[in-house]
Amino acid sequence: MPYYIFVTGGVLSSLGKGVASASIASLLEEQGLKVNIQKLDPYLNVDPGTMSPYQHGEVYVTEDGAETDLDLGHYERFTKRSMTKKNNVTAGRVYYNVIQREREGGYLGATVQVIPHITDEIKRLIREVEEDCHVVIVEVGGTVGDIEGLPFLEAVRQLSMEVGREKVLFVHITYVPFIKTAGELKTKPTQHSVKELRAIGIQPDIILCRSEMEIPEGIKEKIALFTNVQKSAVISAPDLEFIYEVPLVFKKQGLDRLIAQRFSFEYKEVKSKWEDIVQTLRSAEREVKIALVGKYVSLKDSYKSVVEALIHGGIANRARVKVIWVNSEDYDEKVLEEAHGILVPGGFGERGIGGKLKALSYGRESKKPTFGICLGMQLMCVEFARNVLGLKEANSTEFDPFTPHPVIDLMEEQKNIKELGGTMRLGSYPCKLVEGTKVREIYKQELIYERHRHRYEFNNKYREPFQEAGMVFSGLSPDERLVEIVELKEHPWYIGCQFHPEFKSKPFQPHPLFVSFISACLQGQ
């Protein structure tokens, strides 16, 4: 049976529990331990797949095709672990499972209640990720005090008693605000947050203090006194320039040593792999500006993995990446002129399509490196059909079901689907790269596997005129039925892919497409 670390949050949301959990996991991996991480989300949606990005940020897709919380992206980027459907549990999924079992007679006519039936199901789902690991880190989403999170907190309290309190560690992330008019850091919100947690039977072992600045020793002593933890267990988590500094800040304060002592692991003095990453980011002498053209740019978490993958591409090229956020509904060519490259990410719905098409047209005509992902690739094809082939009414049937030139159309296997959640082409699929193409040169292999999330595809009826006009279908499904990658012959770097390469990029294993894209942008300066 593994050891458990439960991560809770207090005071307010968006404190960075996901990055903190991933950082702890990374530090434990550096100690030679196998770690798994799970996210518990209290909302009643079964998964985030049908939720607006404004509500939830990006939908992260795993290898096995799960639509999950964006924090699973942090888990994969910071660790060696590949996430699965089991690593994200929502209240919707929990209640769905319990109700389904009740309807099937699984409870033998008993009255179904939050305790024990909902909490038992939560515990069962948590224990599904125990296999092949020394430590399981469970991030409890939401904020302590929220009514919807109570069943999850009660479940982890129960589980801590069942596995033995000596095998469990509670980490509470809280907020220590700085009041400028008083010139003081205030501990009262943290005190009340911990009080709320203790009221439901959970005593935190470690307090992670998020703040604008580093927490001074005197404040740590005060927090330790009022929360009943050791001063050494009060860890400062200040705002940082790079999220990849977080493991180093925790390590410097002895967080990994503290956990090792609690679980009786032998502590090893090792140099953290994050030192080189952070040093590369800080010492980068070159800067590259990337115009990210999307309709959700007001909530930057909607494109979290894309931005991180761009940073990874920058690390590989020893360059700093500056993202220029371009709202596709307010297209301004002057903004694109100052950028070194253009990226049009995935998305759904007609809003903002006009701006994306104009950006792609500008990228194609100006010979500026241009990268289209998922919907971005589809719109590359629409723009090409309209402005190169002269098919002025060309479109995707997603936006115009009656277009006379449906260059992008609904996939055959998607046509009779009624339910929206979890029904797209999801997860990892193979792609065969055509010899002599740019992407074959970039990947340096014939067969690749990438993660997908889409319902629409390139209409094969238009392959021949596209090819004759200079578009190359450089990546295809092994049966050659599906177009997965397009590129232009007479362009330094103009590539679109139907999949989401950002989901497989890590700081230490940057995705080859992003590495090549950033390199092309630097060459064009």
Catalytic residues: 374, 500, 502
CA 236, CA 221: separation in Å to the nearest integer? 12
Please compute, for residue 154, the number of CA atoms within 13 A of its CA located in the half-sphere on the CB side.
16
Residue pair 45/51 in contact by the 8 Å Cβ criterion: yes
Terminal Cα-to-Cα distance of the chain (whole angstroms)? 55
Written as six digits, the tokens of 497 are: 């892919």
Q: Which pair of structure tokens corresponds to residue 429?
A: 């699929």
Calpha distance 173→190 (Å, rounded)? 9
At which residue do the structure tokens 């970039």 appear?
A: 442
Question: How far is residue 13's CA from residue 297's CA, in Å, rounded to a whole number?
Answer: 20
Categorise residue 462: left if φ over 0, alpha if ψ from -120 to 50, beta otherwise.
Answer: alpha
Separation CA 277–CA 439 (nearest Å): 26
Under DSSP, the state recorded for 469 is T
Task: State which H helix or E strand residue 287 sits in.
Answer: strand 286-294
Q: Which helix (H) or strand (E) holds 451?
A: strand 447-454
φ, ψ for residue 330, nearest 5 deg: -125, 60
Query: For the residues of 365-428, what is the DSSP string, one character each?
Result: HHT--EEEETHHHHHHHHHHHHHTS--TTEEETTT-TT-SEEEEEE-GGGTT----TT-SEEEE
Number of residues in the chain: 525
Question: How does strand 425-433 pair with strand 370-373?
Answer: unpaired
Pick from 372, 385, 319: nearest CA to 519: 319
Cα separation, 12 vs 8, whole angstroms: 11
Where are the strands (E) in 51-205, listed by range? 60-61, 67-68, 88-90, 135-140, 168-175, 178-179, 184-185
Give the separation between CA 371 and CA 515, rounded to whole angstroms: 12
- Give the start-end residues of each E strand in 91-225: 135-140, 168-175, 178-179, 184-185, 206-211
